[in-house]
Amino acid sequence: MKASSMSRSRYLFAALILILAGGALVNGGAALAKAHAQSHPDLSGVWTVFYHDRPGGRFGAPAEPDLSRQGRKIVDDFAATHDLTKYEPGAYCVPGGMPTVMFGLGGYPIEIIQQPKRITILAEIDMQLRRIYMDGRGHPKGFPHTRGGHSIAHWEGKTLVVDTALIKAWPTERWPHSDKTHVVEHISLKKTDALKDVKLRRGLTRKDLGDEVMEDVVTVTDPVMYKGPQTVKVYFRRLPDKEFLEYDCAEGNWWSLIEATAKK
């Protein structure tokens, strides 16, 4: 064989080895990423609250937090100057925001979309949206306070720890809070058989819960409004339909307005 042919053969052989090695690396990397994703619990799906350990609130919400003296004054002063009985926030499409969006008000479900670097939670009620970032970022500076706040998270074993800050102040019932409020959630899957102290509402059986449920331990701190940390343990069950309806709050109010002003 001529030298040039031997060199060409060696080149082609080396190129083939590199291609095969590259394919192995790609496949191995994909397998590693898949294994890493599978090492965490799969929270994806549509969930609805079936129990929480702080009964007594309106619309099935947990009982109101223990307010500090300053917090009680803020709430009472606002109630004294605003008609809260006539103007219900929900009737005017004001979203609950954090933390109440995770309390399952009225039985409305949530949907969790799980990705390696972000978890997205869609709530049917008021079509609320939570983006939970898992790429190592912190809470941004100069970011506006919103009803849902800004959420970051990380895994601690099989528990998702979510940290939410930058929540807009809310001076009325259903968990009033200042703009200093801070929410930490510990979210994990639990075997249904292990839920010994959970009481089910009428018409719901343990068979309806499936083999596992989702537990969200929500701890809310607010140095302005609360006497101390306020914790609620919330349990969700997966819904088999895996979808929910569009929540259209404002359109009815809009139609009522234009019908009232329509030319007769």
What is the DSSP annotation of 176-213? Answer: -B-TT-EEEEEEEEEEGGG--SPPPPTT--GGGG-SEE
Cα–Cα distance for residue pair 126/108, rounded to 1 Å: 10
Q: Which of the residue ranges 21-25, 45-49, 97-101, 193-197 would you say has the lowest mean pLDDT? A: 21-25
Helix, strand or coil for residue 51?
Answer: strand
Strands 128-133 and 150-156: parallel
Q: Encode pLDDT of 52-86 as tens digits.
A: 999 888 777 899 999 999 999 999 999 999 888 77
pLDDT at 112: 97
- Residue 2 sits at φ, ψ, to 5 deg, of -70, 155
CB 187 within 8 A of CB 235: no
Ranges of beta strands (E only) in 6-144 are 45-52, 110-114, 118-123, 128-133
Residue 264 lies in a domain: no
* Number of domains the chain contains: 2
- Residue 97 sits at φ, ψ, to 5 deg, of 70, -165
Domain of 20, in residue numbers: 1-36
26 with 84, same domain: the answer is: no
Residue 185 lies in a domain: yes
111 with 147, same domain: the answer is: yes
Sign of the CA dihedral running 155, 113, 59, 126: positive
10 with 113, same domain: the answer is: no
51 with 176, same domain: the answer is: yes
8 with 83, same domain: the answer is: no
What's the chain's length in residues?
A: 264
The whole-number average pLDDT for the span 176-193 is 96
Residue 247 lies in a domain: yes
Cα–Cα distance for residue pair 233/103, rounded to 1 Å: 9
Cα–Cα distance for residue pair 80/186, rounded to 1 Å: 37
Percent of the chain with pLDDT over 90: 57
